[in-house]
Each structure stands twice: as C-alpha cells, then as structure tokens.
Amino acid sequence: MLDSIDDIDFVLRLHSEGWSTCIIYIENKSYELIITHVFGDPYYNFMHSLMGLINGLQSANFFWYNEPGGARIEITKLKAGKDIVLVNIQSFKEAFGNEIKVYEENICFEIKLKSLLILSYMQLKKIFLLLKERDFAQHRSDGFPFRKFVEFEKAVKDFVRI
C-alpha cells in the first residue's frame, strides 16, 4: 500500500487567452483549480515560491486568482519530517483587489519537497517545450515566464541532483 505522501500528482495546463488549469490528484481524488493570468503571472509566482524553499525559506505562499475568487497556496517545511512540506490550498470568493475576508480550506496534504519540485519542474518544462511549437504558442506565449523558468530549472536540477 502506498503512503499518501507518495500518491500525489498534478497537471498544469496552459490554455489560450490567459487561463490555466491545475488538477491535483491525491490518492483516488482529484481537485481542479482554474487560474487566470489577467491579474499577474501565476507561473512566475509559483516558481518564485518554490525557489524560496530551495534557498532555505521555511514557508512560501502565493495566490492563483480566478474571476472572481481564487486560491491561496501555502507551502511549509515541516520541522518533524525530513524533506516533507505541508501544502495548504485555501479558496476565497472575493474579486481581485478586494480585501479577502474568509478563506475556506480546500486541500491540505503532505509531500516530499523533492517530489513537489520534480512534479512542478516536469509540468512547467512540458509547457516550456510546447510553447516552442508555433501553433500551440499562438495564443499562449504571453502566459509563461521563460526567463524565470530557466532560473527555476537550474535551481531544481541542482537541488534534486538531476
């Protein structure tokens, strides 16, 4: 039997016209986050937060917005566990720019930091490579931070030694 910490996967999909989807699989359940790129750069924020953890931060958080609402993603290193992080995804209903009054816990799970980095890297690398295809990139190229990805790729490869 798999420990739930090792039964986690996710898919990032860059849609056209400023949208993305993140589907998280935990054991036999799936969770979907719809992400708009209108209010910022969600992939940049994601990579920046993960790089903070690589560089020694104990926790990092970022927001992925929808229209309206969104999710706050907090990633915290657990002191008791070696290489284990707690990922807490909380949703909110307020529109971008409004004060967020209530967070509802959607998803909370533990995962090895190296596993999270490998999963994240592979999904972002997939998008990076697909954007080299003209037809795929036609309505999507503005939705990906290429320079940040190159920096992220180096940091992940150095950290996980791949």
CA distance linking residue 17 with residue 69, whole number of Å: 19
Q: Render pLDDT for 96-138 as a digit per residue (tens, 0 to 9).
A: 989 999 999 889 999 999 999 999 999 999 999 999 999 999 8
The sign of the CA dihedral 83, 157, 43, 126 is: negative
DSSP 9: E
Per the structure, the complete domain to which residue 143 belongs is given by 4-160
Q: Render pLDDT for 136-150 as a digit per residue (tens, 0 to 9).
A: 998 887 779 999 999
**pTM to 2 decimals?**
0.92
CA distances from 110 to 16, 58, 107, 120, 156 (A): 32, 15, 10, 15, 19
Quick one: pLDDT at residue 105?
Answer: 87
Domain count for the chain, please give it.
1
Instruction: List the CATH number of the domain containing 101.
Output: 3.30.2450
Angle between helices 146-160 and 113-130 (to 10 degrees): 140
